[in-house]
Each structure stands twice: as C-alpha cells, then as structure tokens.
C-alpha cells in the first residue's frame, strides 16, 4: 500500500468506505451518443449540495491516451473544501472490476496518483503505476482533466470508468459528502478505442 503525500487521499479513501455503505439508489445515467463511440459524456442526476458535486463525466479513448474530464458544481482552492475524487478504470473485461484508479485532491496544494488496483475497496489498491499521466484542476470551469497514456493503462482496447468525488461538509462535523456517477461503483458504457 503506497503512502500518498496528501490529505485528500485519506478523504477519498474514507469517502469510498462511506459510499460502500450506501444503498444502491436506482439512478439513471444520461448517455449522450452511442456506447461504441470513442468518446462518451455521462451526466449525473444527483445533486449533493457541495462544491465537489459531480455533474458530468466525459471519457475519450484516443489513439495514444485516455482522457477523462469531470465537471463539478464549484471547485475551490480552499483546503476546507476537502474536495477530492477517484476515477476507476476498467481496462480488461476478462478481469472483474477496475484495474487502475486515479486518485487526486481537488483543492490547492494537493497531489494525485495513478495506482494499480484489484477492485474498488482501498485494501485492493496496489502500487503506483510507472508511466505518463497527469491531472489538471480548472477552477474557472470547475473541471478536472485527467490524461493517461495508453501504456500507463496497460495498453487496453475498450475502457470504461466509475467515478466518485467527495468533499468535507461545511457544518464542522468533518463528515464527507460523497457523490458517485450514477449508482455507487457503477461503470459507464464501454468506450471503444479510437
Ligand atoms: Ca452529482
Ligand atoms: Ca476489469
């Protein structure tokens, strides 16, 4: 288990634990375009009333890299927001669950890391991936742009993602507000390699 050098990871990990305890709500995903396309956009119907609230996710499976863009309600630089998130990537349909997770903090001074994983639970998270990837925070457009080289993902063909974001409640309780794209631990449709 790697030690991640930022506070948001703890929040993200705790959020996933919290999310695991939630009942799976019957949420519907709004899917734009055919699932066979090399890019899809998925909107999230649930509003958490926190700035980290996940609004939509776009996945582009390009020739040399995979790009995931998440859009939020109001990303802030303030550490008090506690905002962070995780993008789970399913890169192998023959191996159950996700094979990679990109974990990051969404407030100023945080970091991010792409890890190998055997599943959603943090206990199954493994070593950092050697390879080229990056995460850019866009506070003006409330977006997080994540780019991962195909090699860093193990040279997959089709990919799909499950996404969660979280933040710290502003009521002083320190509790996390968790938002998954659609139902907890649910994946988008497969996105074909472009
Ligand atoms: Ca949401
Ligand atoms: Ca898999």
What pLDDT is stored for residue 66 in this prediction?
Answer: 98
Ligand with the closest atom to the CA of 116: 2
pLDDT of residue 171 exceeding 70:
yes
pLDDT of residue 148 exceeding 90:
yes
Ligand with the closest atom to the CA of 55: 1
Give me ligand 1 centre to Cα 166, in Å. 10
Q: Which tokens is 177 given?
A: 């507000």
Give me ligand 1 centre to Cα 22, in Å. 15
Give me ligand 1 centre to Cα 50, in Å. 9
pLDDT of residue 191 exceeding 70:
yes
Give me ligand 1 centre to Cα 131, in Å. 31
pLDDT of residue 50 exceeding 50:
yes
- Cβ-contact 190, 158 below 8 angstroms: yes
Give me ligand 1 centre to Cα 47, in Å. 4
Ligand with the closest atom to the CA of 159: 2
Ligand with the closest atom to the CA of 156: 2
pLDDT of residue 192 exceeding 60:
yes
**Mapped to the 3 state alphabet, what secondary structure does the chain carry?**
CCCCCCHHHHHHHHHHHHHHCCCCCCCCCEEECCCCCCEEEEECCCCCCCCCCEEEEEEEECCCEEEEEEEECCCCCCHHHCCEEEEEEECCCCCCCCCEEEEEECCCCCCEEEEEECCCCHHHEEEECCCCEEEEEECCCCEEEEEEECHHHCCCCCEEEEEEEEEECCCCCCCEEEEECCCCCCCCCCECCC
The domain ranges of the chain are: 7-180
Rounded CA separation 105/136 (Å): 11
pLDDT-based confidence at 6, cuts 50/70/90? Answer: very low
Give me ligand 2 centre to Cα 171, in Å. 38
pLDDT of residue 43 exceeding 80:
yes
Question: 36 or 70, which is more confident?
Answer: 70
pTM above 0.75, yes or no: yes
What pLDDT is stored for residue 194 in this prediction?
Answer: 87
Rounded CA separation 152/105 (Å): 20
Rounded CA separation 112/135 (Å): 7
- Cβ-contact 114, 148 below 8 angstroms: yes
Could you report the per-residue pLDDT of 9-42, keeping only the tens digit for each? 443 443 443 343 333 333 344 444 445 579 999 9
Least-confidence region, from 11-25, 41-55, 82-96: 11-25
Ligand with the closest atom to the CA of 50: 1
Give me ligand 1 centre to Cα 130, in Å. 31
Q: Which tokens is 37 given?
A: 């396309």
Give me ligand 2 centre to Cα 75, in Å. 30
Ligand with the closest atom to the CA of 187: 2
Mean pLDDT, the chain, rounded, equals: 86
Give me ligand 1 centre to Cα 36, in Å. 25
What pLDDT is stored for residue 77 in this prediction?
Answer: 96
pLDDT-based confidence at 105, cuts 50/70/90? Answer: very high
């Amino acid at each position: 288990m790697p030690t991640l050098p930022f506070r948001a990871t703890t929040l993200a990990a705790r959020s996933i634990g919290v999310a695991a305890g939630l009942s799976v709500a019957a949420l519907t995903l709004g899917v734009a375009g055919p699932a066979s396309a090399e890019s899809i956009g998925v909107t999230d119907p649930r509003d958490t009333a926190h700035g980290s609230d996940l609004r939509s996710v776009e996945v582009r499976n390009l020739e040399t890299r995979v790009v995931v863009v998440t859009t939020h309600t109001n990303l802030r630089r303030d550490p008090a927001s506690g905002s962070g998130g995780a993008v789970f990537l399913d890169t192998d349909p023959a191996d159950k669950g996700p094979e990679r997770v990109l974990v990051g903090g969404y407030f100023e001074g945080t970091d991010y890391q792409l890890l190998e994983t055997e599943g959603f639970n943090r206990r199954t998270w493994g070593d950092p991936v050697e390879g080229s990837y990056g995460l850019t925070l866009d506070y003006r457009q409330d977006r997080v742009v994540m780019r991962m080289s195909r090699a860093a993902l193990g040279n997959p063909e089709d990919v799909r993602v499950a996404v969660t974001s979280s933040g710290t409640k502003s009521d002083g309780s320190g509790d996390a507000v968790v938002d998954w794209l659609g139902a907890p631990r649910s994946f988008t449709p497969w996105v074909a390699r472009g």
